[in-house]
Homo-oligomer: A and B are copies of this chain.
Amino acid sequence: MTNICVDVEGSDLGREELSLGCINFVKENKDTKLTVVGNKEKLGDIFKGYEDQIEVVHASDVLPMHIDVNKVLHSKESSMVKGIYLSKQDNIDAFVTAGSSGGFLLASTVLIQRLKGIKRPAFCGPFFTKVKGKKTVILDIGASNENSVEDLVSFAKLGRAYAQLILNIENPSLYILSNGAEEGKGIDVVVKTYDALKEMNFPNFKGNVEARDVLDGEHDVIITQGFDGNILLKSVEGTAKLMNDMIKQAFKKNFLTKLGYLLAKSGFKEMKETLDYKKAGGAMLLGLKKVCVKAHGNSDRESFYYALKVAKQMVDMKVIDKFKQEFENDGQ
């Protein structure tokens, strides 16, 4: 029986929305229990009828979006910190939250602890690409700002292991995000990481990739320092949103364009599915001794459902055990 600890507080759309995602999830996953952390009074009887799969643990506080680093760990009554404390226990397999990224990162890193050899965990998001069904693993997309060469090399190992275990790619290709494809291009840490990976003969290391080629479906794993990965992620999201709005606008122009939409709708269905970020569920925080998933702050029930699904899949694939093997055998 899988047991996932879920923080239902601190999201944009509120605890009810996330709770409905939890209910949909347990309905379809009879082998899974959820330990939901949240305000028990305010949740009321929302989980009535699902008591065999959902247990609620009361937390009176919510971690604010912007919180002083020093205060996070003292917020023991917040749903986030309480949930992460619970997730340290052996009977809990994963932790999922849609709350404050910063608080999540800090509390989970300190409380759950890092895998041997990992100095900094990384947010990892499988990006959609132009090739149907093909995802590209990009990390770090925002857990850190600046990273060292050592950090980036450990991101390469985490990304490779993730692509192998979860995406079933036998020998994933590895790239570094830079401002030119040629060797020697980029900021200092990029150039030095290139050299380090080359020097250590990192398996299937292919060099640099430019941001404009990231979505072409030809890259399995791309590493980047957190600040740049975050710019990449948000530029892609922002541009995709802008163009989606423009497409809607274009079809709404007049009677004829509306009619055109009805006829062309089937063609756009596939595009919509490819770009549907809800199914991504959220970003995994890789490098810790427990499965940790950060759902979007504005998750609705559907996207939260997918965040739970990502966590479950990682538990089922025994990703943490395999990561431990991987990094322990590595002699680091």
Binding site for B on A (CB under 8 A): 66, 130, 142, 145-146, 177, 179, 182, 186-188, 210-216, 226-228, 230-243, 245-247, 249-254, 256-257, 259-268, 270-271, 274-275
Instruction: Please tell me if the beta carbons of A235 and B214 are within 8 angstroms of each other in the complex.
Output: yes
Number of copies of this chain in the oligomer? Answer: 2
Please give, as numbers and ranges, the residues of chain B lying within 8 Å of A257 by CB-CB distance: 263-264, 266-267
Choose from B234, B254, B262 the contact partner of A211 (Cβ within 8 Å): B234
CB nearest to A177 among chain B residues: B231
CB nearest to A236 among chain B residues: B239
Please give, as numbers and ranges, the residues of chain B lying within 8 Å of A275 by CB-CB distance: 243, 246
Please give, as numbers and ranges, the residues of chain B lying within 8 Å of A252 by CB-CB distance: 267
**Distance (Å) between the CB of A141 and the closest chain B CB?**
10
CB nearest to A241 among chain B residues: B212
8 more contacts with CB within 8 A, not counting A240-B243, A259-B260, are A177-B231, A179-B226, A186-B227, A187-B227, A215-B242, A231-B232, A254-B267, A260-B261
Please give, as numbers and ranges, the residues of chain B lying within 8 Å of A263 by CB-CB distance: 256-257, 259-260, 263
**Distance (Å) between the CB of A155 and the closest chain B CB?**
16
Q: Is chain A's interface secondary structure helix, strand, loop, or mixed overall?
A: helix
CB nearest to A253 among chain B residues: B267
CB nearest to A142 among chain B residues: B179
**Distance (Å) between the CB of A47 and the closest chain B CB?**
34
Please give, as numbers and ranges, the residues of chain B lying within 8 Å of A212 by CB-CB distance: 234-235, 237-238, 241
Within the assembled complex, what's the spacing in Å between the Cα atoms of A270 and B257? 13
Choose from B230, B237, B254 the contact partner of A266 (Cβ within 8 Å): B254
Instruction: Please tell me if the beta carbons of B268 and A264 are within 8 angstroms of each other in the complex.
Output: no
Within the assembled complex, what's the spacing in Å between the Cα atoms of A214 and B234? 9
CB nearest to A233 among chain B residues: B211
Please give, as numbers and ranges, the residues of chain B lying within 8 Å of A241 by CB-CB distance: 212
Instruction: Please tell me if the beta carbons of A246 and B261 are within 8 angstroms of each other in the complex.
Output: no
Please give, as numbers and ranges, the residues of chain B lying within 8 Å of A261 by CB-CB distance: 260, 264
Choose from B187, B188, B231 the contact partner of A235 (Cβ within 8 Å): B231
Within the assembled complex, what's the spacing in Å between the Cα atoms of A167 and B226? 34
Please give, as numbers and ranges, the residues of chain B lying within 8 Å of A227 by CB-CB distance: 179, 186-187, 228
**Distance (Å) between the CB of A260 and the closest chain B CB?**
3
Known contacts A228-B228, A242-B130; decide if A250 and B270 are in contact (CB<8 Å).
yes
